[in-house]
Amino acid sequence: MKDIDRKLYETLSPKMQPDAELNRQILNLAKEDHIVTMQKNKKRKHYPAVAAAAVAVLLASSATTYAVVNYMSTKEVAKETEDRKLEAAFSSGKAVSLNKVQEQKGYQVRLLGMISGKDLSDYEVTDEEGKARDDRTYIVAAIKKTDGGILGEEDFFASPLISGYRQQDMNIATLCGGATSFDSEDRTTRYEIIDTDNIEPFADHKIYLAVQNGGFFDRDKNGQQGYLYDEKSGTYSRNTEYDGVNALFELPLDASLADHKKAEQILHQIEKDQKEAAGETETESEKTVYEFMSGLTPENIGEYATPLESTRLTCKPDSEGMVSWSYDMGKNGQAQGKESMDNLFPDGSCGMSRCLGYTNADQGLEDLYIHTFTLNKDGSVTFLVYVPKK
């Protein structure tokens, strides 16, 4: 790769329609110089890990191009970027070949393959503090016109989406991600390598790859966003009213790869980054709660917490696969909500779910209420709240 052009796209336009907190994040980030680099020593900084605020997309366009008749393999795409480790990784048995295709608005988007693991690339990814992020997911996609025509200067954006989390909270930016792209020699095909922190800890959720034209989740000229989030089920779908490319692929991850402790660590880091961007800091009580919950499992919950029998509720999931719960928090009011059976029990096994939720009112363990869900043999679910032992 003799000559790499780097473009930094900052999506500060009003198309995102940010809320007040998002505006504060953008203002904070605007004071900093966010530059993404890939030097000859093979180091690259990640996207600023802030949810949907002042986010940069790196599109590395190579002047060294490749003649294509058919699509390149994932191995060949990695080779073109001179990433020998990634080339070898895509040649291994751990790589997943996908070859899924969607066509919209005169473009064909093809999902070629993916791989996850540690130390898979020659290029070191670091966070804002210079800490290496070497446990990564790499996804390869290709884009071309359906009529085989030459690609112009059009931009495309790709990001993972995870069911149960809104796109502004969980995306390529908050997952410390980046993207590298180049065009084929005849300029009819654009190849993209999307890399993020390893998404396997969330494998018991539906995980998607979104590919759309424009920048970071840009809306179209009519204000339509590319993807719709269902608040009840936590799932994503294409917005058919969106005037543009908005491909959405479900990634085939093995649910057994899920790691709730690692997932919780990732979520905690994202929340911390968002607060720092908004000029806030994590409180001592929040740290205490996080540390306590990080060590809690269905196997040891009885050692550290006591059940509140008054909150016990057994019910059947509704027609949409949702479980409703509610309980009285005393002076802190009433708590209620819904949870998806797919998220709680991805493999359908009976017993207590490893997804332990909680609510509290900033008094640390003193007002911590731990939510547990247990799948019974008759298909019903028992909701029960625990509190930390004194």
Per-position DSSP letters for 31-51, written without gaps between them: TS-----B-TT-EEE----ST
Residue 80 identity: E
Is 237 within a domain?
yes
Is 285 within a domain?
no
Is 218 within a domain?
yes
Q: How many CA atoms lie within 13 A of 199 on its CB side?
A: 32
In 3-state terms, what secondary structure has residue 186? coil
Tell me which of 232, 259, 286 is where a domain ends.
Answer: 259
Please state the separation of Cα 349 from the chain's center in Å.
26
Nearest to 62 by CA among 239, 161, 193: 193
- Answer yes or no: do 53 and 129 share one domain: yes
Tell me which of 259, 288, 317 is where a domain ends.
Answer: 259
Residue 89 identity: A
Tally of domains in the chain? 2
Instruction: With beta carbons less than 8 A apart as the criterion, state whether 332 and 320 touch.
Output: no
Is 71 within a domain?
yes
Whether the pTM exceeds 0.85: the reply is: no
Q: Report pLDDT for 281.
A: 62
Task: Report phi then psi at 255, rounded to 5.
Answer: -60, -25
- Answer yes or no: do 219 and 354 share one domain: no
- Answer yes or no: do 17 and 106 share one domain: yes
- Answer yes or no: do 176 and 319 share one domain: no
Average pLDDT across the chain, whole number: 80
Segments forming the whole domain that contains residue 335:
298-388
Distance CA 126, CA 204 (A): 27
Distance CA 112, CA 12 (A): 31
* Tokens representing residue 100 in the block: 């899924």
- Answer yes or no: do 133 and 191 share one domain: yes
Distance CA 208, CA 238 (A): 11
Q: Report pLDDT for 7.
A: 30
| Residue 14 per-residue DSSP state | G
Nearest to 210 by CA among 174, 245, 165, 169: 245
Q: Exposure pattern of 51-78 as b/e (b: 16+ CB <10 Å)? A: bbbbbbbbbbebeeebebeebbbbbbbb
Nearest to 98 by CA among 78, 113, 115: 113
- Answer yes or no: do 86 and 139 share one domain: yes
The answer to whether the Cα torsion of 50, 5, 185, 215 is positive or negative is positive
Is 379 within a domain?
yes
Q: Report pLDDT for 152.
A: 86
List per-residue pLDDT tens for the chain, 390 residues long: 333 332 332 322 223 333 444 433 433 433 333 333 333 332 333 444 443 333 333 333 333 343 334 789 999 999 999 999 999 999 998 999 999 999 999 999 999 999 999 999 998 887 777 788 899 999 999 999 999 999 988 889 999 999 999 998 899 988 988 899 999 999 999 999 999 999 999 999 999 999 999 888 888 888 899 999 998 888 999 999 999 999 999 999 998 899 888 998 888 888 877 777 666 666 777 778 888 888 889 999 999 999 999 999 999 999 888 899 989 887 777 888 888 888 888 888 999 998 888 887 667 788 889 999 999 999 999 999 999 998
- In angstroms, the Cα distances linking 216 to 49, 120, 231, 288 are 13, 26, 21, 35
Cα angle 200, 206, 209; round to 5: 80
Q: Report pLDDT for 83.
A: 93
Is 287 within a domain?
no
- Answer yes or no: do 212 and 346 share one domain: no
pLDDT in tens, 223-268: 899 999 998 888 999 999 999 999 999 999 998 899 888 998 888 8
- Answer yes or no: do 142 and 193 share one domain: yes
Is 234 within a domain?
yes
Q: Report pLDDT for 280.
A: 63
- Answer yes or no: do 235 and 362 share one domain: no
- Answer yes or no: do 319 and 200 share one domain: no
Q: How many CA atoms lie within 13 A of 159 on its CB side?
A: 33
Is 357 within a domain?
yes
Distance CA 30, CA 227 (A): 27
Q: Report pLDDT for 93.
A: 87
- Answer yes or no: do 217 and 320 share one domain: no
pLDDT in tens, 151-171: 988 889 999 999 999 998 899
Cα angle 263, 316, 369; round to 5: 45
- Answer yes or no: do 244 and 364 share one domain: no
Residue 167 identity: Q
Residue found by looking up tokens 């997911």 in the block: 137
Tell me which of 228, 244, 259 is where a domain ends.
Answer: 259
